[in-house]
Amino acid sequence: MIKMSLKLIICGIMLIISSCSLPSNLDQLKAVQYIENGKTINPDASVENQIGSFRIIYGKNSTAYEVWSINYKALHSTVNGKNINTELVPTTDTTFKYFIVKNNDSIGLAYDSLTTLDKGKLFQLDSLLERLAIDKLNMKIFALDLGRATSIEQTGQSGKVEKYFTKKSEGDADSIYRYYDKNFKDINFSFAPELDKLNKSKLYKTRFIYLPKDKSKAKQELICEIKEVQLTNKSKMMELMRRFEKEYDSSVK
């Protein structure tokens, strides 16, 4: 009896150790935030920003796109009780929609919220990527052959910034800055896989600068970058991704 008890205790300890050493499903979720900032720098040094952003959550078997939506309300202008104008204005509410697709697949399911009870609706991944401006055509701008860098600045032990003068014709950016960091190498998202491979690093930000001919006009910048982020809703996100995997097979038949 004593020997049997010792065996059971040892087996129990081994089971606990092995289960603790295995990574949890929540740890398998990694997220990046894509940020696009169209910046206008006026001659008086005031700055106007137009920012668009979304998140990509990478799981073991599937990928989710968290897309922010701004809600609008109708604002009516009336004179003597008659409506003379209706304008849509943004409210303070922001909603999130989730588009989930199996890795290496082209069709997925879209959900109106993280906790919705409604069944996911089919969507085409190509259409979503085009809407988010990260489809193959839009991403070509990040992989352009810019020739030899005008300057290269090392940033810390793992990063560098390459500067290029690129103005060749009307409409071209005057200069382009490429930011690399080796610490981003394990992130799935890539602006330009061929540049990542060439530099043994990750292109995580690009700045396009447009200078006006007339100095009384505004300077324009377009900044596109990714940042690794920590999810505050990991357990709910995992629940939705598991639910997606159960619903997916029956939805595509």
Angle at 107 between CA 102 and CA 111, to 5 degrees: 80
Burial degree of 119 (CB within 10 A; 0-12, 13-18, 19+): exposed
- The structural domains of the chain, with segments of one domain joined by +, span 25-252
Q: Cα(205)–Cα(242) distance, rounded to whole angstroms? A: 32
* pLDDT for residue 16: 40
Q: Which residue positions in the chain have pLDDT lower than 50? A: 1-4, 6-24
HSE-up (13 A, CA, CB side) for residue 114: 16
Q: Cα(46)–Cα(37) distance, rounded to whole angstroms? A: 15
* pLDDT for residue 107: 95
* pLDDT for residue 9: 42
* pLDDT for residue 1: 42
Q: Cα(252)–Cα(178) distance, rounded to whole angstroms? A: 41
Please provide residue 242's backbone torsions phi and psi, each rounded to the nearest 5 degrees: -65, -40
**pTM of the predicted structure, to 2 decimals:** 0.79
Fill in the amino acid letter for 203.
Answer: L
* pLDDT for residue 13: 39
Q: What is the Cα 231 distance to its own chain's centre?
A: 13
Q: Cα(121)–Cα(253) distance, rounded to whole angstroms? A: 13
* pLDDT for residue 252: 66
SS3 call for 79: strand
The side-by-side arrangement of strands in the sheet containing 107-111 is 121-124, 107-111, 82-102, 62-79, 47-58, 30-41, 219-229, 202-210, 175-181, 159-165, 151-155
Taking only the tens place, the pLDDT of each residue in 142-193 is 999 999 999 999 998 999 999 999 888 777 899 999 999 999 878 889 999 9
| CB contact at 8 A, 97 and 112 | yes
Cβ-based neighbours of 72, under 8 Å, separated by 6 or more: 88, 89, 90, 91
**Residue whose C-alpha is closest to residue 236's, from 56, 114, 93:** 114
| CB contact at 8 A, 186 and 201 | no
Q: Cα(148)–Cα(165) distance, rounded to whole angstroms? A: 9
Q: Which residues of 187-219 are buried (b: 16+ CB within 10 A; e: fewer)?
A: bebbbbeebbeeeebbbbbbbbbeeeeeeeebb
Task: Characterize the bridge pairing of strands 82-102 and 107-111.
Answer: antiparallel
Q: Cα(228)–Cα(34) distance, rounded to whole angstroms? A: 9
